[in-house]
Amino acid sequence: MSTARLHLDPAFTVGPVRRRTFGAFVEHLGRCVYEGIYEPEHPSADADGFRTDVLELTKELGVSSVRYPGGNFVSGYRWEDGIGPREERPVRLDLAWHSSDPNHVGVDEYMAWCEKAGVEPMMAVNLGTRGVQEALDLLEYCNVPGGTYWSDLRRKNGREEPYRITMWCLGNEMDGPWQIGHKTAEEYARLATETARAMRMIDPTIELIVCGSSASDMETFGAWEATVLNEAYEQVDMISAHAYYWEKDGDLASFMASAVNMDHFIDSVTAAADWVRAVKKTDKRIMISFDEWNVWYMDRAESVPPKGDDWPVAPVLLEDHYNVADAVVVGNLLISLLRHTDRVASASLAQLVNVIAPIMTEKSGRAYKQTTFHPFALTSQFARGDVLQVGIDSPTMTTARFGEVPTIDAVATRDPDTGETSVFVVNRALEGETTISIDTRALTEWADTELTGVSASTYAHSDHTWQATADDDATVAVQTNESATREGHTVTVTVPAISWTHLHLTR
């Protein structure tokens, strides 16, 4: 059995826990919208056609915000097709995913769903096939109270009060050659800057997110960020980052260490943004919106879109079925996002339902939780207050992609009002248990009373390839870890290989 040590000290904080870290993503892709959040014929559907079983799971997941309508889809989207009477809405080809969209769900339906789910909307505008004017029209429709063409049309369509959407994405992955309307950094920078400037003339309170690199291995990574921000810096608030991870060629060790890459990605984008800040000699600091992240097996058959004359509505696309190891990696990626809370202002798990998602549905049938549901839900529930820097002394493991990496990774959060502290831990080791000792002396010094309560929950299984199904999504669940003990100022817990654990320290 190996051992590791963690040290917690409230004097060393990274920044506040941001609720927007626990965002998700709903794109018109596959069965995410149709048969996912919306299925009027389903037994659980409400009067607006939304599946209430999915709504309840969304609330249980602890989602804070939802990005919409894409993703690659948005770069060919005509938003005005999705408003007004449904019977008058046109069916359009979705070139991004070789599908058809009936436009039964559009802006008003999305906003109604957000209100039911209790989540903040994040709206993306099309800067692929469209530009400044179309973005202004959408903003007017959503945020202007009335008295203008688009705002009065919203009122005519049944929504009297403006939606007042705060977060807006200026396109999607415009650095990618796969993107409809793909642009060079210089071309995109000019378009995004002018779009942002004009949008602020309508609503100066909005927060704008400019496209960063689609992945850290893009040839233009770094240079793209510098070029775009050099042009758009004063007009935007955040720059996006996207990253997906999967087990490649049976290299489980490297896959378990995926958060090493996310750490590098965030640090590199931060460096590029701060270089522009230094050159411009400004006090303004650009934050990161990590608005697409997840485990995604891109080489699987379900990730291949239809082709030819086949343009189906809601085809089965990107429906990865996750295992226990995938869930542990998702938990570790959340650890990475939290420990960069000083620069990551928002994040979106991609996606919410059916499409590389923690929630799966059957058409006309059941909804169930994937393995990845559990670490996300518990981290969202218990991460409160401030994120603490965690001193980690851990054994290491050898990986093909990242060299020697610590087997134990962790982050902690502390509620300054109650002193309650949560520690989120992953054991990346492929075999064997690890006993972790946590030094909590500093926590006691900062608390009005000593923290004596200790509990732990672990997600793991002897078969890390176990997957949930509609018939069984509970055999492998988060279990109480009875090994958690406290002696003096030291908390000790033993965690199995390939596991995610939450420790809760209370008065």
Two tokens, residue 116: 């039911």
Q: Is the pLDDT of residue 448 over 60?
A: no
Q: What is the pLDDT of residues 107-153, one digit of tens each?
A: 999 999 999 999 999 999 999 999 999 999 999 999 999 999 999 99
Whole-number Å distance between alpha carbons of 427 and 329: 10
Closest CA to 123 of 171, 168, 62, 177: 168
Backbone φ and ψ for 84, nearest 5 degrees, come out as 85, -170
Q: Which of 27, 35, 140, 292 is catalytic?
A: 292
At residue 488, the pLDDT reads 87
At residue 444, the pLDDT reads 75
Classify 81 as helix, strand or coil: helix
At residue 327, the pLDDT reads 98
Q: What is the pLDDT of residues 76-102, one digit of tens each?
A: 999 999 999 999 999 999 999 999 999
Q: Any idea which architecture 18-382 has in CATH?
A: Alpha-Beta Barrel (3.20)
Q: Is the pLDDT of residue 453 over 90?
A: no
Residues in the chain: 507
Element (H, E) at 170: strand 167-170
Average pLDDT, the chain: 96
Closest CA to 207 of 104, 288, 302: 288
Helices (H), 75-184: 107-117, 132-143, 149-156
Q: Is the pLDDT of residue 288 over 60?
A: yes
- CB-based contacts of 109, cutoff 8 Å, min separation 6: 38, 48, 49, 82
Catalytic annotation present for 319: no
The position carrying tokens 């400004």 is 282
- CB-based contacts of 357, cutoff 8 Å, min separation 6: 32, 36, 351, 370
Give the mean pLDDT of 171-199: 97
Backbone φ and ψ for 222, nearest 5 degrees, come out as 90, -60
At residue 158, the pLDDT reads 97
Instruction: Just give the CATH number of 2-11+386-506.
Output: 2.60.40.1180
Catalytic annotation present for 173: yes
Angle made by CA atoms 29, 305, 325, in degrees to the nearest 5: 75
Whole-number Å distance between alpha carbons of 465 and 295: 14
| Domain boundaries, given as residue ranges, for the chain | 2-11+386-506, 18-382
Q: Is the pLDDT of residue 449 over 70?
A: no
Give the mean pLDDT of 70-74: 97
Q: Is the pLDDT of residue 369 over 60?
A: yes
At residue 447, the pLDDT reads 56
Classify 398 as helix, strand or coil: strand
Q: Is the pLDDT of residue 415 over 90?
A: yes
Among 117-126, 370-379, 440-449, whose mean pLDDT is lowest?
Answer: 440-449
Give the mean pLDDT of 345-351: 97
Q: Is the pLDDT of residue 452 over 80?
A: no
At residue 451, the pLDDT reads 66
Amino acid at 73: F
Give the mean pLDDT of 235-258: 97
Q: Which of 27, 109, 140, 173 is catalytic?
A: 173
Q: What is the pLDDT of residues 469-484, one digit of tens each?
A: 999 999 999 999 999 9
Please say whether the beta carbons of 69 and 110 come within 8 A.
yes
